[in-house]
């Protein structure tokens, strides 16, 4: 009897420490081996307990980038665009190959591998998939790279937990993929701690990436960006390379790409570097033909944050506005699924006018407002429409907006 009594408290503590409703954690290990001689990477997914995952239905796209699937359990390719993996019991592994080089429709590459380095997005290594799992299951994902001989290292936007190994944790996804930019091989890096964020600028050696210039400009604008965007990512990776990579910028939630030849501040007074930083911080996505919001805000703050940091005089700011007026004078509507450069320029002018209107209407109130308050409201939405933008803006200013009563938004 005394033995049973002594066990009772321990049993109760055990039940309290591990609630019956808690999700069961299952390790998911990604292993990537680059194969430069064949322009491929060999990728494997290993589940600690395959029985907890009923199936993963992969979207393989229509370009034929993925091939040579094999693994434990059952792999079914219903069409070239879709494959379904039903893992076996116990430790289950799926292996396949993926082509790295991704040419853009018009010019350059979105991803590229040479004999010395690879620059790509993890989204391409592991395609998106619909996860069906058993009960409450939480996948604990890690990413390990096996590099070719002579390659020095690898960088991702995820926290490093060992040599060439990273922890993948995205609270917004059930199926944690290694999304974001990756650069590996003979690379050079520069690092800095800005606010609470570990910032790394990495690029293949010899590609002309201005790593220190980038860190210097970011150091100036970072406090201004933090004042607008209430977000402190644990880590931010900026990667780049020269031709024949695409001559632009592309963002991801924890990283972004800049072509090595892009100026930090262009002759028209805007900054591609800060533009992509705003996309990373804001994560504002558009719907209902409202891409002008995401692109317009990114360009607005690409000018405004540099201005607030003291890098743009009032005279230069007005000249930037004059150039945007001239560039966008033919624009009749901002509504489109993909905003052009002229549409983005016109959107910036509208946003500048809206900021002035909000400041004037709330001047002298207990809480003066600005476009920054609208931006923070938009960040709370999954996707934003023009209607959402108008409603949030008028709520911030406490009344109807003359600026937004425009044919440009219809």
- Tens-digit pLDDT profile for residues 287-309: 999 999 999 999 999 999 999 99
Q: What is the DSSP letter of 364?
A: T
Partner residues linked to 129 by β-bridges: 58
Residue 21 has a pLDDT of 53
- Mean pLDDT for 217-233 is 94
Cα–Cα distances (Å) from 371 to 144, 194, 355, 359, 388, in that order, read: 42, 24, 5, 8, 14
d(Cα 337, Cα 153) in Å, to the nearest integer? Answer: 39
d(Cα 227, Cα 175) in Å, to the nearest integer? Answer: 32
Backbone angles phi, psi at 384, to 5 degrees: -120, 135
| DSSP assignment string, 145-186 | EEPPTT--EEEESSPEEETTEEEE--TT-SS----SEEEEES
Residue 12 has a pLDDT of 44
pLDDT category at 87 given cuts 50, 70, 90 is very high
Domain ranges of the chain: 25-262, 281-409
Q: HSE on the CB side for 298, CA within 13 Å?
A: 28
pLDDT category at 107 given cuts 50, 70, 90 is confident
Backbone angles phi, psi at 84, to 5 degrees: -125, 130
- Percentage with pLDDT > 70 across the chain: 95
- Percentage with pLDDT > 90 across the chain: 88
Three-state secondary-structure class, residue 353: helix
Three-state secondary-structure class, residue 368: coil
pLDDT category at 230 given cuts 50, 70, 90 is confident
Per residue in 147-197, pLDDT (tens digit) is 999 999 999 999 999 999 999 998 778 899 999 999 999 999 999 999 999
Burial of 283 (0-12, 13-18, 19+ CB in 10 A): middle
DSSP strand pairing (109-113 vs 102-103): antiparallel
- Mean pLDDT for 64-74 is 96
Residue 3 scores a pLDDT above 50 = no
d(Cα 223, Cα 232) in Å, to the nearest integer? Answer: 11
d(Cα 52, Cα 22) in Å, to the nearest integer? Answer: 14
pLDDT category at 62 given cuts 50, 70, 90 is very high
Count of H-run helices and E-run strands, the chain: 9, 21
Residue (of 335, 234, 343, 218) closest to 276 by Cα position: 218
Residue 51 contacts residue 34 (beta carbons within 8 Å): no
CB-based contacts of 7, cutoff 8 Å, min separation 6: none
d(Cα 31, Cα 118) in Å, to the nearest integer? Answer: 16
Cα–Cα distances (Å) from 305 to 101, 144, 271, in that order, read: 35, 37, 10
Burial of 217 (0-12, 13-18, 19+ CB in 10 A): buried
pLDDT category at 22 given cuts 50, 70, 90 is low
pTM beyond cutoff 0.85: yes
Residue 341 scores a pLDDT above 90 = yes
What is the topology classification, in CATH, of domain 25-262? Immunoglobulin-like (2.60.40)
Residue (of 42, 41, 71) closest to 56 by Cα position: 71
Residue 30 contacts residue 140 (beta carbons within 8 Å): no
d(Cα 270, Cα 312) in Å, to the nearest integer? Answer: 10
Give the lowest-confidence range in 6-15, 252-261, 399-408.
6-15
For 2, the token pair is: 């005394």
For 25, the token pair is: 């954690």
């Amino acid at each position: 009897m005394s033995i049973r009594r002594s066990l009772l408290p321990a049993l109760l503590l055990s039940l309290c420490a591990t609630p019956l409703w808690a999700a069961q954690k299952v390790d998911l290990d990604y292993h990537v081996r680059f194969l430069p001689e064949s322009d491929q990477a060999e990728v494997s997914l290993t589940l600690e307990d395959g029985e907890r995952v009923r199936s993963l239905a992969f979207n393989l796209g229509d370009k034929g980038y993925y091939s040579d699937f094999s693994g434990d359990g059952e792999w079914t390719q219903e069409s070239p665009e879709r494959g379904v993996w039903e893992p076996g019991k116990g430790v289950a592994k799926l292996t396949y190959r993926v082509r790295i080089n991704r040419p853009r429709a018009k010019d350059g590459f979105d991803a590229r591998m040479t004999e010395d380095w690879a620059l790509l997005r993890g989204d391409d290594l592991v395609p998106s998939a619909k996860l069906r799992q058993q009960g409450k299951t939480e996948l604990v994902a890690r990413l390990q790279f096996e590099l070719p001989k002579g390659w020095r290292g690898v960088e991702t936007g995820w926290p490093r937990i060992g040599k060439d190994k990273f922890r993948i944790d995205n609270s917004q996804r059930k199926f944690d993929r290694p999304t974001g930019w990756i650069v590996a091989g003979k690379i050079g890096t520069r690092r800095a701690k800005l606010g609470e964020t570990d910032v790394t600028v990495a690029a293949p050696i010899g590609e002309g990436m201005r790593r220190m210039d980038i860190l210097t400009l970011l150091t100036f604008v970072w406090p201004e960006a933090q004042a607008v965007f209430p977000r402190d990512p644990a880590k931010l990776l900026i990667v780049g390379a020269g031709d024949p990579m695409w001559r632009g910028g592309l963002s991801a939630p924890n990283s972004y790409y800049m072509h090595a030849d892009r100026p930090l501040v262009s002759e028209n007074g805007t900054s591609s570097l800060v533009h992509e930083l705003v996309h990373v911080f804001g994560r504002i996505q558009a719907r209902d033909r409202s891409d002008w919001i995401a692109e317009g805000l990114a360009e607005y703050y690409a000018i405004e944050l540099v201005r607030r940091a003291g890098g743009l005089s009032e005279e230069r700011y007005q000249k930037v506005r004059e150039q945007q007026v001239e560039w966008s004078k033919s624009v009749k509507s901002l509504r489109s699924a993909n905003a052009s450069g002229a549409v983005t320029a016109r959107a910036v002018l509208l946003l500048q006018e809206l900021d002035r209107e909000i400041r004037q209407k709330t001047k002298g109130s207990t809480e003066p407002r600005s476009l920054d308050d609208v931006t923070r409201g938009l960040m709370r939405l999954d996707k934003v429409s023009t209607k959402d933008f108008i409603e949030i803006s008028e709520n911030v200013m406490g009344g109807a907006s003359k600026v937004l009563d425009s044919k440009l938004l219809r």
